[in-house]
Structure formats: C-alpha cells, structure tokens
Amino acid sequence: MGFIDEPFRLVARLRRGYSTSVLSEQPRDWTIRDVVAWMTDDLRKRSVEGARLDAELIVAQALGIDRVKVIVEGQRLLDPQELEAIRALFKRRRGLEPVAYLRGFREFYGRPFRVDRRVLIPRPDTETLIDVALERLRGHDLGARVVDLCTGSGCVAITLKLERPTLTVDATDLSEGAIAVARDNAQRLGAVWNVRFAAGDLFGPLGPPRRIHDLVVANPPYIATGEIAQLQPDIRDHEPRLALDGGEDGLVVVRRIVAEAPQWLRPGGALALELAAGQAEEVERLFLAAGFDDVRRAVDYGGHERVVSGRVP
C-alpha cells in the first residue's frame, strides 16, 4: 500500500490536514519530502538500517540530482513520470536489493566505482586494506609491481594505481563478469596504463611464479559457508556468493594465498589481506608459519581487526 499504489495519496493528504471526504477530488500532489518520509517509514518497518539515507539516495537517483538537492528541494511537487521512476527503484529496494546496485555505483576512497550483481559492493572496511598497502609500499613505490587477487570491481587495484601512478598492477578474479566490470571501472577512472586484468584462479593467469613483485594484496572470500545463511538478506540474496564464501571456516582461499604468495614476492615484498572480524589471530599464525616477518594487524573504522600484513625475508 502507500506510495506503491493509490492509497499512498491518503497518507500525505491526511498529514496536511485534508479530510478523507475530499481525497477523491484532489489530484496527486506528492512532494519530494512526502515520498522520502513514506519510503523511510516503510523501510524501517522492514528493519532496513539507514532507511532515510536509502530513501534519499533512491529519490536522487531517480531524479538525476544529488542528495543535497533532495533535502533542499523537499517541497517540490513531483510529476507522474518522476513518481514512476522513484516507484520502480523503490520496489527493488523493498525486495532488499542493495542501494548500490540500484544506483549502479558505490563510492570508494573518494571515487565512484560501477557495481552490479557480478561484483561485491565496495565497503569502507576495505579502505583499511588500501591504507595498509600504501604504507607497505612507502619508500619504494616508484615502479613497484603489485598483484591484486579477487579483484571484483577492481576498486583495490584501481585505487592503488591512482594513488601511486607509477605502479604496475596485475589483477585477477575467478569471475569473467567481475573482470569485465573492473576493466570498465579502470577505463572510466583513467587507470589503464600498466594495469592488467585477467580472469582465472588467484595467481594462475600470471604464468609461472616469479619473485618480482613488491606487494600482493587481496580481499578474498572469507565468510564461512555455514554462516552465509545468517547474512543480511541484502548481502545473502543479491551479492555474488563466489565473492563471499570462504569455505568451511572462511579461510580456505586465505590459506592458499598465504602459502603461494612467497613465490611471487621479491625479498622484502609484502602481502596484505582483508579478513572477517575475529580471524586476525589465526591468519597471523598462518603468516608466521609461511615464513613472513614484520607481521601486523590493522583495525578498520569500526574498531575490528580487518587486515593482516607481513613481509617475506
């Protein structure tokens, strides 16, 4: 009911003090503020976190304006075409499709990355991985060679290249669809020189192992298979399982990367991995067992140990 269909008219007009007896005589007169308020209320009833932000972003996307204008122009009346555009997006959000997929992009490290259901949505937690990678490259980033595994949208590989333009970056992903999205992002954001994307399993597309790289970085699948069903529906039902499922304990892919990375890193080169909260201690042990030294943990914006990194001797 409501904005999705005709009865939604009643809510706004009652809020303005109209009697129900004149409702049928009144034309539609939805303002931006009315629609945002109704969608916010509806999403909250569905236990959606950040309901108001979602509503504002949906309106902004449908109208082709930024979120500030949604707030500033709250009293503006919406025409039928605008209402229909908002309605179409909102129906998808009602089905718990992530807002990033509705908008077609997500901000990461200050840049807009194209996203769709072929790739995991970039998250602020992963910006910690960027910070750690840049720190590990400090002092020898000129002409350094980087490998980004499980690249997805390409947000890590592309961000590192744009932050340190002299890098040479190779990025791989098991999904052909993800590689297509990553290449598109690289083209749009101007990160095509010395950045190569290839579909395949981890280091496989790079050929025989060569100890010539300064950094291997990855945001691998790290959710335990048995925990997938407990994820928020937005994630569980819409984001690619291939990018989420880390096997029985969540560390199947992580173990492979830690074991194989020393064959690709030059002496002094570093490995940095994003992890789930609670995995850092075990992964630190894996690093040490594989011969890494200078092993460190890094905390994300929420206070969780999110990244483990180390160097090969």
Q: What is the pLDDT of residues 237-285, one digit of tens each?
A: 999 999 999 999 999 999 999 999 999 999 999 999 999 999 999 999 9
Residue 21 has pLDDT above 70, yes or no: no
Task: Determine the average pLDDT of the residues in 125-152.
Answer: 96
Among residues 34, 67, 95, the one where a domain terminates is 95
Residue partners of 187: CB distance under 8 A and separation at least 6: none
Q: Cβ(242)–Cβ(253) under 8 Å?
A: no
Domain count, the chain: 2
> Is there a single domain that holds both residue 171 and residue 294?
yes
Portion of the chain with pLDDT greater than 70, in percent: 91
Q: Report the C-alpha gap between 204 and 125 in whole angstroms.
A: 27
Q: Report the C-alpha gap between 242 and 259 in whole angstroms.
A: 21
> Is there a single domain that holds both residue 70 and residue 167?
no
Q: Report the C-alpha gap between 32 and 236 in whole angstroms.
A: 31
> Is there a single domain that holds both residue 69 and residue 110?
no
Residue 40 has pLDDT above 90, yes or no: yes
What distance, in Å, lies between the first and last C-alpha atoms of the chain?
A: 64
Question: Token pair 């690619």 is at which residue?
Answer: 240
pLDDT for 140 equals 83
Q: Cβ(168)–Cβ(146) under 8 Å?
A: yes
Q: Cβ(3)–Cβ(87) under 8 Å?
A: yes
> Is there a single domain that holds both residue 131 and residue 195?
yes
Task: Determine the average pLDDT of the residues in 123-133.
Answer: 98
Domain of residue 53 covers 2-95
> Is there a single domain that holds both residue 254 and residue 175?
yes
Alpha helix segments (H runs only) across the chain: 8-15, 32-45, 51-63, 67-72, 80-94, 99-103, 127-137, 155-163, 176-189, 233-236, 252-260, 280-289
pLDDT for 18 equals 42
pLDDT for 225 equals 98
Q: Report the C-alpha gap between 294 and 265 in whole angstroms.
A: 15
Residue 16 has pLDDT above 70, yes or no: no
101 within a domain of the structure (yes/no): no
How would you class 139 by CB atoms within 10 Å of its CB: exposed for 0-12, middle for 13-18, buried for 19 or more?
exposed
Single-letter amino acid code for the residue at 234: D
> Is there a single domain that holds both residue 111 and residue 62?
no
- What confidence category does residue 141 fall into, taking pLDDT thresholds of 50, 70 and 90? confident
> Is there a single domain that holds both residue 127 and residue 252?
yes
Find the CATH number of the domain harbouring 80: 1.10.8
Residue 253 C-alpha from the chain's centroid: 19
Task: Determine the average pLDDT of the residues in 275-303.
Answer: 97
> Is there a single domain that holds both residue 155 and residue 288?
yes
pLDDT for 5 equals 57
Find the CATH number of the domain harbouring 140: 3.40.50.150
pLDDT for 213 equals 98
Q: Within 10 A of 53 (CB to CB), how many other CB atoms are there? A: 14
Q: Report the C-alpha gap between 285 and 254 in whole angstroms.
A: 12
Q: pLDDT digits over 41-86, tens only?
A: 999 999 999 999 999 999 999 999 999 999 999 999 999 999 999 9
> Is there a single domain that holds both residue 30 and residue 120?
no
Beta strand pairing call for 168-173 and 145-149: parallel
Q: What is the average pLDDT score of the chain?
A: 92
Q: Report the C-alpha gap between 10 and 1 in whole angstroms.
A: 10
Question: Token pair 């560390």 is at which residue?
Answer: 251
pLDDT for 292 equals 99
- What confidence category does residue 224 fall into, taking pLDDT thresholds of 50, 70 and 90? very high
Single-letter amino acid code for the residue at 112: P
Comparing CA positions, the residue from 160, 225, 149, 224 lying closest to residue 194 is 160
Q: Cβ(222)–Cβ(278) under 8 Å?
A: no
pLDDT for 23 equals 29
Q: pLDDT digits over 94-106, tens only?
A: 999 999 999 999 9
